[in-house]
A and B are shown apart, each in its own frame.
Chain A
Amino acid sequence: MSRPSVSVASSRWRPLALFLLTSGALLLVGAVLVRSPVPIYLAIPLLLAAPAAAWAGPRGAPTGTLELRAEGSGTEVRLAGLFRATGRLEARDLTVLVERPPGLLEEGSARIEQGPSSLRFEYSWRAPEPTIAVVNPPRILWKDPLGLVERPVAVAAEPLVVARYPPELLRVGAVRLRRTSVLPGENPSSRIGATGEFHSLRTATSTDPPRVINWRASARAGRLVANEFELDRTGDVLLLLDARGTTLGPAVDERLLGIARAAALGIADSFLHEKTRVGVAVFSEFVQAVPLSTGRGHHLRLREALLSSRVGPAGVPSERGAVSVSRYYPPGVTTILFSSLTDDASAELVLGLRRRGYPVLVLSPSPLPILAEHSPLAPEDETLVARLVALTRRARIARSWKDAPTVDWDDYWSLGHFVKLLRHPTMRRVG
């Protein structure tokens, strides 16, 4: 991984410095007009304050070290940081500018503690819905005590990625997937998860359950030793995000895509933890695909692909997506399709995928909670409209069930039904 870049910027005059300089110049003009030295005596401090502030400030680019971390669980996100100034930089003259990611909301005021050489800050945010947010490192500015000159502090830090998704997804990776391909001589195991054929011994960790401890080997070695198993991969999983534009409009589409992105990352994390191969494809105008693979590096690739996904134009033929998917992934891969099912194009995509041999499971983030937030109707009209829209949505979900198991995801912080559906293959049968 490349080292984070450190940008060095020069000093800048603040508006107050310009105001004092302008006032001093006007006083000079006034002194000439009234032929009096009194305004000049007032002008001297106003004119010299800004250059003196720059002179008294740090000579070179101010530097320091920044420790930045994201904390919290569930919907809460806390950004905590500790900046330590190097050299003679006075931390009480520093100002922190934090850019709040778009998917997060303010939750309380920030806490800033300034000491002589360190600056500690904590920002509290709330994720109103599942999201993946990129938190850029804060800008730290040195300002002179009078507020006349400022200069950015050179800080080496990398952006943080904060993912918040329903907690049920942490367990979803343990489900048994449909086997994609059986290699000659491979013996499919009936067990899934962290058990399988014995592979080797390793030093036990505190999280290892007693059943994986090899007690005989531990007695011989004088320390706890655990068995390592070759995990039996039961299949592969493809996460396909339908990011085509819909009639809901770009703002709602973008929010739904953000929710789908977060769920896709949660599902990918869980399956990758079980060493299952995971692929991600985003179908906007064309298909951007990350091939099937596993491992930590692949997790980063998937995350980058999801973060870079954007809503595409409307009216893109579904067949294009189905054909493109078949070029990147072998038939039989369990496919989880994220689609709002707002129009018929998504249903056509499901059919196209099934025709090419992909078992599809549709996870449909419902647009109804988002639409209800911005409804301009009166409460009694809103109730009636909500009922009608809910009936329409139910009918659409029912039609989609004829082609593939479909989960209507209207409570964004709960995916228990989806996990249950994925865990019981018999429930996934359609038709």
Chain B
Amino acid sequence: MSGRRPGRPVRPPPPVSTALVLGVGGLFGYVASLPHLGGVAIALLGAGLAAGLRSTRSARVRAVAPIPLVVSVGLLAVVSPLGLVPEVLSGAAGLSILVWLADDPARAPGGVGRAGGTIVVPALALGIAGASALLLPSTSASVGVAAGLLVLALAALAFLFARPRPYDREEAATY
């Protein structure tokens, strides 16, 4: 027997989300201060490769499309200098990746709108981290606050991995 996924025709790459990752990634690559605009090249290469892979008809190839995008942005985040602008652009790049993932041309249109509830949670966490970094006096303090948030997030994640049941609780049939 052969399983088969629905043969939905792949739409052309969505322009808004593609432009978003290209723009944010390019800006992030520019502030990364690599010589000869190397950061911009890395960002554009990653985003372009991801968009190209996602527009193919093969489901297996489409599944690996996010890898170059995440790798290129992650590389820029590691090599970029300290500062408020790189921090903001780093968070924005993370959110733009989520928007890009939601706007999958192989699935039903309107994914970004339906993914609003999902994207708003990391956006809030970023907002908390950014606000604490701006309000606290030193850069090292902001690192501490962000790290604390991350520890909390990782603890929640470990809990979810170990017991995904909280989302499986049935609604009561009777009152």
User: Residues on A close to B: CB < 8 A?
Assistant: 8, 10-13, 15-16, 19-21, 23, 25-28, 30-31, 34, 36-57, 59-61, 90, 92-93, 95-102, 106, 109-110, 112, 114, 121, 123, 143-148
Closest chain-A Cβ to B33's Cβ sits at a distance in Å of 12
Cross-chain pairs A/B with CB under 8 angstroms, 13 sampled: A13-B161, A16-B101, A27-B78, A28-B150, A30-B78, A31-B143, A37-B133, A41-B77, A44-B125, A44-B153, A50-B157, A53-B118, A99-B1
Closest chain-B Cβ to A46's Cβ sits at a distance in Å of 6
User: Residues on B close to A: CB < 8 A?
Assistant: 1-9, 63, 66-67, 70-71, 73-74, 77-78, 80-82, 86-88, 90-91, 93-95, 97-98, 101-102, 104, 107-108, 110-112, 114-115, 117-123, 125-126, 129-130, 133, 139, 142-143, 146-147, 149-150, 153-154, 156-157, 160-161, 164-165, 167-171
Contact at B90–A23, with CB atoms within 8 Å?
no
7 additional A-B residue pairs with CB within 8 Å, beyond A23-B71, A45-B122, A100-B4: A37-B143, A38-B80, A41-B88, A44-B153, A45-B98, A110-B7, A143-B107
Contact at B108–A19, with CB atoms within 8 Å?
no
Contact at B3–A56, with CB atoms within 8 Å?
no
Task: Tell me the dominant secondary structure on chain B's binding face.
Answer: helix
Tell me, in angstroms, the Cα distance from A143 to B133 when the chains sit together.
Answer: 35
A47: B residues at CB distance < 8 A: 122, 150, 153-154, 157
B146: A residues at CB distance < 8 A: 37, 40-41, 44
Closest chain-A Cβ to B71's Cβ sits at a distance in Å of 8
Contact at B90–A38, with CB atoms within 8 Å?
yes
Contact at A55–B121, with CB atoms within 8 Å?
yes
Contact at A42–B73, with CB atoms within 8 Å?
yes
B107: A residues at CB distance < 8 A: 92, 143, 145, 147
B82: A residues at CB distance < 8 A: 36-38
Contact at B94–A45, with CB atoms within 8 Å?
yes
Tell me, in angstroms, the Cα distance from A42 to B86 when the chains sit together.
Answer: 10
Contact at A48–B104, with CB atoms within 8 Å?
no
A15: B residues at CB distance < 8 A: 63
